Amino acid sequence: MSATLADICRRDQQRLALALGLSEREARLEVQLLLGHVLQKPRSHLIAHGESPLEPPIAGPYEALLSRRLQGEPMAYILGRREFYGMELRLSPAVLIPRPDTETLVEAALSRVPPATRCAVLDLGTGSGAIALALALQRPQSQVTASDISPDALRIAQANAHRLGVPNVAWHLGDWFEGLGGRFDLIVSNPPYIPARDPHLDRGDLRFEPPHALVSGPDGLEAIRRIIGQAHRHLGAGGSLMLEHGFDQAQRVRDLLAAHGFEDVCTFPDLAGIERVSAGRWQPAGAPTAAPTVP
Ligand SMILES: C[S@@+](CC[C@H](N)C(=O)[O-])C[C@H]1O[C@@H](n2cnc3c(N)ncnc32)[C@H](O)[C@@H]1O
């Protein structure tokens, strides 16, 4: 006789908890999400129909997903989706899994783009499109440009834009600012910022994510240096550059911004109080100090 959904939940939550060091609660949620994914039913169905058997045609695909998870593959890649800033984004291993920390960058960016203004915003290294799409949805009158060096990432980001019905994003393939013309009111980026030999790269989700989305030279700051070094050529007077960085990089990023002539250099903490996003304003000598938004 086939095991019931409730039996499977009990059995596999223990296997997952043991294999991945999850709490019972986290492991139960993951088993329910995997079962729900193969059954194409919400979690509430599993709870309401716990005594239903898991039929053999479904058991095989479920076991395949469970075994991927037992090897440590992130849920977001197995399910092919992740929620970010209230949007459901589709993902593949070609893109970084958007993190809640990055919502700090979105919030900080929104504080510099007043609603009902037409700002030109650039998101460098857009990956799944998480930041660009959140900003474009929150500020529909603004025009967002999103770029990445990875064609696979851009395809995923464009598909997310299409599915979410976001019209005000232009997509660009290139190496940071390469090929981008015009000037922007706001440039944001969550670039790779992990040092090449960081031991965290061998642990958890990071083992499965694309290295070019994570690693940036020996100290993790190579991409940030390049972006800060070139940003002034792409910012309008009074425009802002905002960068997500590692928990221990804020002071170095502030120093880099100041050394390149940025003003009002500051850092925004994430919800855990960790310095997560640093920013500066570009004010060319002799330019008026008002932000260059077009009402
Ligand atoms: C940390 S991920 C951020 C992805 C997404 N913005 C997010 O926050 O979830 C960094 C992104 O930068 C892109 N990237 C790496 N090197 C790049 C380069 N030289 N030029 C443009 N994009 C680059 C990667 O492909 C990756 O999508």
Report the share of the chain in percent with pLDDT over 70: 96
Ligand 1 pocket residue status of 126, Cβ below 6 Å: yes
**Alpha carbon distance 153, 173 (integer Å):** 10
Does the pLDDT of residue 5 top 60, yes or no? yes
CA dist., res. 95 & res. 83, Å (int): 14
Atom of ligand 1 nearest to the CA of 102: 8
pLDDT above 90 as % of the chain: 91
- Which atom of ligand 1 lies closest to the CA of 212? 15
At residue 66 the predicted structure's pLDDT band, cuts being 50, 70 and 90, is very high
Question: What rounded mean pLDDT belongs to the chain?
Answer: 95
Q: In one letter, which amino acid is 23?
A: S
| φ, ψ dihedrals at 186, nearest 5° | -145, 130
Q: Which of 97, 149, 226, 276 to mutate to test the pocket of ligand 1 (most atoms within 8 A of CB)?
A: 149
User: Measured between alpha carbons, how far is residue 279 from residues 107, 114, 202, 223, 229 in Å?
Assistant: 13, 17, 30, 15, 14
CA of 234 to the centre of ligand 1 (A): 18
Q: Enumerate the H helices of 80-194 as residue ranges.
A: 102-110, 130-138, 151-164
Domains and CATH numbers, the chain: 5-72 (1.10.8), 96-282 (3.40.50.150)
Length of the chain: 295
For ligand 1, atom 19, which residue shows the shortest CA distance?
175
The mean per-residue pLDDT over the stretch 181-196 comes to: 97
Distance 183 CA to ligand 1 centre (A): 20
Q: Burial-class residue 33 by CB neighbours within 10 Å (0-12, 13-18, 19+).
A: middle
From ligand 1's centre to the CA of 46, what distance in Å?
A: 37
- Which ligand 1 atom minimizes the distance to the CA of 127? 27
pLDDT band at 11 (very low <50, low <70, confident <90, very high): very high
Residue 278: the pLDDT is: 98
The reported pLDDT for the residue numbered 246 is: 97
What DSSP assignment string belongs to 23-80?
A: -HHHHHHHHHHHHHHHHT--HHHHHHTTTSB--HHHHHHHHHHHHHHHTT--HHHHHT
Give residue 285's pLDDT: 80
What pLDDT, on a 0 to 100 scale, did the predictor assign at position 289? 60
User: What is the atom index within ligand 1 of the atom nearest the CA of 153?
Assistant: 27
Q: Higher model confidence: residue 192 or residue 55?
A: 192
- pLDDT of 294: 37
* DSSP H helices in the chain: 5-20, 24-39, 43-48, 56-70, 75-79, 102-110, 130-138, 151-164, 211-214, 222-231, 250-259
Render pLDDT for 208-249 as a digit per residue (tens, 0 to 9). 999 999 999 999 999 999 999 999 999 999 999 999 999 999
| pLDDT(295) > 70 | no
Contacts of 116 (CB under 8 A, 6+ apart): 141, 295
Q: What is the pLDDT of residues 107-163, one digit of tens each?
A: 999 999 999 899 999 999 999 999 999 999 999 999 999 999 999 999 999 999 999
What's the pLDDT score for residue 116?
Answer: 87
The reply to whether ligand 1 has any atom less than 6 angstroms from the CB of 98 is yes
Tell me the pLDDT band of 293, cut-offs 50, 70 and 90. Answer: very low
Residue range 256-289, pLDDT digits in tens? 999 999 999 999 999 999 999 999 999 988 666 6
Confidence of residue 167 (pLDDT cuts 50, 70, 90): very high
Report residue 278: phi and psi, to 5°: -115, 150
| C-alpha to C-alpha distance for 222 and 241, rounded to whole angstroms | 16
Residues 6+ apart with CB under 8 A from 250: 267, 275, 276, 278
The residue contributing the CA closest to ligand 1 atom 27 is 127
The CB of 160 under 6 Å from ligand 1? The reply is no
Residue 192 CB–ligand 1 contact under 6 Å = yes
Q: Which of 107, 82, 102 is nearest to 92 (CA)?
A: 82
